[in-house]
Amino acid sequence: MYGFLLGLLYHPAFAYLFYQWRKEDFNYGYFIFPIVVYLLWEKRFVLKETPSVPSWSSLLPICAGIALYALGELGGEYTTLFLSLWLVVVGLCWMHVGWQKLKVIGFPLAFLLVMFPPPHLIYSNISLQLKLISSRVGVWMLQTLGMTAYREGNIIDLGFTQLQVVDACSGLRYLLPLTALGFLLVYYYKAAFWKRALIVLSAVPVTIFTNSVRIASVGVLYRFFGPRVAEGFFHGYSGWLIFMAGLSLLLLEMWALSRFFPEKESLRAKDKPLGLPTLSSSEGRFREESRGLFRPPQSVVAIFLLGVTLLVSQTVDFREKVPLSQPLARFPLEVGEWSGVRMPIEPRFLNVLKLSDYAMIDYRDGQGRTANLYVAYNQSQSKGASSHSPDSCLPGSGWVFERSETVDLPVGTDQGMPIRISRAFIEKNGARQLTYYWFPQRGRVLTNMFELKAYAFWDALTKRRTDGALVRLITPVYAGERSQDAEARLTGFARQIVPVLDTFLPGGG
């Protein structure tokens, strides 16, 4: 019964999870569940001798999971759904096996969290930082070896060629599985807490170091073997080699900690198995009475709660589809002194973005200076079909955010009131651009993804609306031009565009 209800409730989340596991960054997820099964099998004798005392307290994580399910569904966030599923599973285990057994299987249950991909916003930002750090350290290693090497963003110039440190070389692909293995190692490592914490935390510098060695080795071997060392079999094989080197360093660290910081006898005694709790006669009777359908009685409440959640999620539509006041295809190509040309988005990108409507127009002023307008609209935002922040999308194309902040821009149509926007200078291969972006959402102007998720949840409940848009303006910083000149140009462009855009986007009523 539980499996049937959970399968129907979390079917989209499972589909998304398996889709993510097909990517090289997260394909370690296939191994997590078999590892958890093995960890539970190791505890079979302890579980057999530990009494099962179901408790009504087990409904607390189940209710928390259902609340997160509503937040994830209305806010359009898969990570929240993953946490919801995990809490419900923990609550059901607690309900049927009791608190004592739950403590016995606490680590295997916690280890299940490793199989869920991190939120895209956090993942992309961490990946960008790791990529830049690995590039810096890799260049330093090449210079130490006497080679001529310079770095511009994620591009390494070796003089005779240039190497681009792409997302696959960021190191995050190795950090996540190496951290998971770090947790497994400390699970079996009987030592003080500070030693275990050090092993897990050291996965970050170990990943950066080994990945930097990989980048430096490609720079050294490129001179002799050409582009073959940066692609194909060698590139993939070197990734596995670097990962095994990172694991070896963690094992070496464990040996060094045990060798130079031996445990005291008092700490060793704590690791010795204690006597198992005995089963009282009343507990034994409770265990016998708890066998059978709808036993323990708390299961009836759990099935009811999950059933009601499933019924509401399938029958009540919290999202009305709110169309634009007029289609973005009608957005004028002549705005003030600016003249524009529409630019299409490739179908493969549209399939990913799942937009209801969009406009991407390249404008040019009388002096030949350019500015780009991009408007993406979703008439009903949901999981996989919601506004994406440029600070998580542009880095994937190689753009590096130099300066990013929120500022007030006096472009509003309501008596000149300013709007709060995000402003950033971005760089790629020596080219610099200035970008403004913000999220018009049902009468609000928001600037970050956390606000978007929170208001999407609230407006779905109170207004039955989750429609929203992303507006992004970009202008180049031309050679010999000051940053202030580019900012003055983009601000003037925004003042022309925003009043026109307000006639297309729906209001907050």
Domains of the chain: 2-117+278-315 (no CATH), 124-269 (no CATH), 328-502 (3.40.1000)
What tens digit of pLDDT does each residue of 160-170 get? 565 655 544 55
d(CA 212, CA 356): 42
pLDDT digits (tens, 9 = 90+) for 324-338: 999 999 999 999 899
Encode pLDDT of 436-490 as tens digits.
Answer: 999 999 888 998 877 888 888 888 888 888 888 999 999 999 988 888 999 999 9
State pLDDT tens for residues 196-235: 999 999 988 888 888 788 777 777 777 666 666 555 555 5
What pLDDT does residue 154 have?
58
Angle at 200 between CA 111 and CA 256, to 5 degrees: 130
Name the least confident of 90-104, 241-255, 385-399, 441-455: 385-399
Q: Could you read off the pLDDT of 134-158 as tens digits, one per residue?
A: 777 877 887 787 777 766 655 666 6
* H or E, element range at 195: helix 193-201
Highest mean pLDDT among 234-243, 421-430, 487-496: 487-496
Whole-angstrom Cα distance, residue 55 to residue 102? 11
The pTM of the full predicted model, rounded to 2 decimals, is 0.71
Q: What count of residues does the chain have?
A: 509
Confidence band of 412 (pLDDT split at 50, 70, 90) = low
Beta strands in 279-322 (DSSP E): none
Residues 6+ apart with CB under 8 A from 411: 418, 419, 491, 494, 495, 498, 499
Cβ atoms of 402 and 430 within 8 Å: the answer is: no
- Tokens read off for 438: 């913000």
Asked whether the beta carbons of 407 and 399 are under 8 A apart, the reply is: no
Would the pLDDT of 116 be above 90? Answer: yes
Half-sphere exposure at residue 396, Cβ-oriented, CA atoms within 13 angstroms: 10
